Amino acid sequence: MTETDLFIRTGVALAIGLLVGMERGWQSREIDDHGRAAGFRTFGLSALLGAITAHLALAFGGVVIGFGFAAFAIIFAAFHWIEAQAHNTASVTSVVAGLVTFGLGALAVAGNVQVAIAAAVVTTVLLSLRNPLHQWIALISWEEIKAGLILLVMTFLLLPLLPDRPVDPWGAINPHEIWLLAIMIAMISMVGYIAIRLFGDRFGILVTAAAGGLASSTATTLTLSRLARSGVASVGIASAGIAVSASVMLIRVGVIATGLNRLIGISLWLPLLAGVVVQGFAAATLILVLGKSETPDRVSGIKVTNPLELSTSLKFAALMAAVMLAVKLVSQFSGNTPLLIVSALSGIADVDAITVSLARSTAIGDIAADGILLAVAVNSMTKAVLAFWVGGKAVGIRVLIVTALGLIAGATAYFLF
pLDDT at 149: 81
- For residue 286, CA distances in Å to 204, 234, 394 come to 15, 10, 12
On the question of pLDDT at 160 being above 90, the answer is no
The whole-number pLDDT of residue 99 equals 93
Return d(Cα 44, Cα 17) in angstroms, integer: 4
Please report the pLDDT score of residue 171 as a whole number: 79
Does 388 score more than 50 pLDDT? yes
Identify the weakest region by mean pLDDT among 15-19, 214-218, 309-313.
Answer: 309-313
Q: CA–CA separation, 245 vs 243, rounded Å?
A: 5
Neighbours of 341 (CB within 10 A): 15
Per-residue pLDDT reduced to its tens digit, 241-276 = 899 999 999 999 999 999 988 888 898 999 999 999
For the cut 90, the answer to whether the pLDDT of residue 313 exceeds it is no
Alpha helices in 291-366, H assignment, sequence order = 310-333, 336-349, 352-359
In 3D, which of 211, 120, 64 has the Cα closest to residue 223?
211
Using CA atoms, how far residue 182 sits from 196, 213, 264, in Å, is: 21, 18, 20
pLDDT bin (cut points 50, 70, 90) of residue 305 is low
Euclidean distance between CA atoms 229 and 391, whole angstroms: 5
In this model, does residue 328 exceed pLDDT 80?
no
Other Cβ atoms within 10 Å of 21 Cβ, number: 24
Residue 130's pLDDT is what? 79
Q: Which amino acid is at 416?
A: L
In 10 A of CB 312, how many CB atoms? Answer: 18
The domains of the chain are located at 3-134, 140-416
User: Which neighbouring-strand residues pair with 298?
Assistant: 204
This prediction's pTM: 0.67
Helix, coil or strand: residue 1:
coil
pLDDT, one tens digit per residue, over 77-110 is 887 787 777 666 666 788 888 899 999 999 999 9
Residue 274: the pLDDT is 95
**Percent of the chain predicted with pLDDT > 90:** 28
* Whether pLDDT at 372 is above 90: yes
User: Residue 242 is which amino acid?
Assistant: I
Checking if the pLDDT of 317 tops 90, the result is no
What is the Cα–Cα distance from 316 to 356, expressed in whole angstroms?
11
Strand partners, 204: 298
Closest CA relative to residue 30, chosen from 88, 69, 87: 87
* Closest residue by Cα to residue 399 from 223, 238, 210: 238
Quote the CA–CA distance of 198 and 194 in Å, as a whole number: 6
Name the residue among 197, 196, 188 with its Cα closest to residue 138: 197
Residues 122-135: what's their mean pLDDT?
Answer: 84
On average, the pLDDT of the chain sits at: 82
| Cβ atoms within 10 Å, residue 367 | 18
Grouping H, G, I as helix, E, B as strand and the rest as coil, residue 74 is helix
Q: Single out the residue of 140, 151, 214 nearest to residue 183, CA to CA.
A: 151
Smallest CA-to-CA distance from 391 within 232, 159, 214, 244 is with: 232
- Looking at residue 121, its pLDDT comes to 93
Is the pLDDT at 303 greater than 70, yes or no?
no
Question: Nearest CA to 5 among 126, 164, 134, 112?
Answer: 112
| pLDDT, tens digit (0-9, with 9 covering 90-100), for 276-296 | 999 988 888 876 665 554 444
Residue 225 — very low, low, confident or very high, per pLDDT cuts 50/70/90? confident
Q: Pick from 213, 278, 274: which is nearest to 241 by CA?
A: 213
pLDDT digits (tens, 9 = 90+) for 20-33: 888 877 766 555 55
pLDDT of residue 39: 66
State the pLDDT at residue 31.
53
Return phi, psi of residue 293, to 5°.
-70, -25
Q: pLDDT band for 387, please (50, 70, 90 cuts).
A: very high
Give, in degrees to the nearest 5, the angle at Cα 179 between 177 and 184. 95
